[in-house]
């Protein structure tokens, strides 16, 4: 092997070692500095603000029409990983106040336990509710004509 070939081989090996070391350092630091791996900051909230538009809820739950007021929110179903593997599921939760005559028409299937309401939605919960299941994951408080809904989607 000639001297210039040995020098070229040595330079190539040194550059390869530097690239491998740089990638290794970036991988080691990715959990401490999420931006290095292109990951979102895990301390940021993974939820939306509270929405008040009834149209989407009426489309998802047509038997609740007409909805007088609604407060709902979407959040990611799990914490993000880095790198992100697979699609994210989303959970939509909220309260819909319907007409009392419509609430009286909905068939109940018995008493239910209180739902685990997200913190941002708690101000919109009825006072001292008596939840009744009306199927499809919907809970009704007949006294206030309030329906609690939760839905998971991809």
Strands 132-133 and 139-141: antiparallel
Please name the helix (run of DSSP H) or strand (run of DSSP E) that holds residue 113, with its range, or none.
Answer: none
Total residue count of the chain as it appears in this document = 154
CA distance 2 to 30: 42
Is the entire prediction scored with pTM above 0.75? no
Q: What is the pLDDT along the chain (154 residues), one digit of tens a residue?
A: 788 878 877 888 788 877 787 666 655 655 555 555 556 555 554 788 999 999 999 999 999 999 999 999 998 887 766 666 778 888 999 999 999 999 999 999 889 999 999 999 999 999 999 999 999 889 999 999 999 999 998 7
């Amino acid at each position: 092997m000639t001297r210039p070939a040995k020098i070229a081989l040595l330079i190539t090996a040194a550059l390869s070692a530097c690239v491998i070391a740089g990638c290794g350092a970036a991988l080691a630091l990715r959990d401490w500095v999420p931006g290095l791996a292109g990951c979102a900051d895990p301390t940021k909230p993974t939820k939306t603000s509270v929405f008040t538009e009834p149209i989407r809820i009426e489309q998802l739950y047509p038997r609740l029409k007409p909805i007088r007021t609604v407060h709902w929110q979407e959040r990611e179903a799990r914490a993000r990983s880095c790198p992100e593997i697979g699609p994210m599921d989303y959970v939509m939760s909220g309260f819909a106040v319907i007409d009392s005559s419509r609430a009286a028409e909905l068939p109940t299937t018995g008493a239910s336990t209180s739902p685990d309401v997200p913190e941002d939605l708690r101000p919109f919960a009825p006072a001292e509710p008596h939840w009744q299941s009306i199927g499809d994951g919907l809970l009704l408080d007949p006294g206030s004509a309030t329906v609690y809904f939760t839905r998971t989607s991809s």
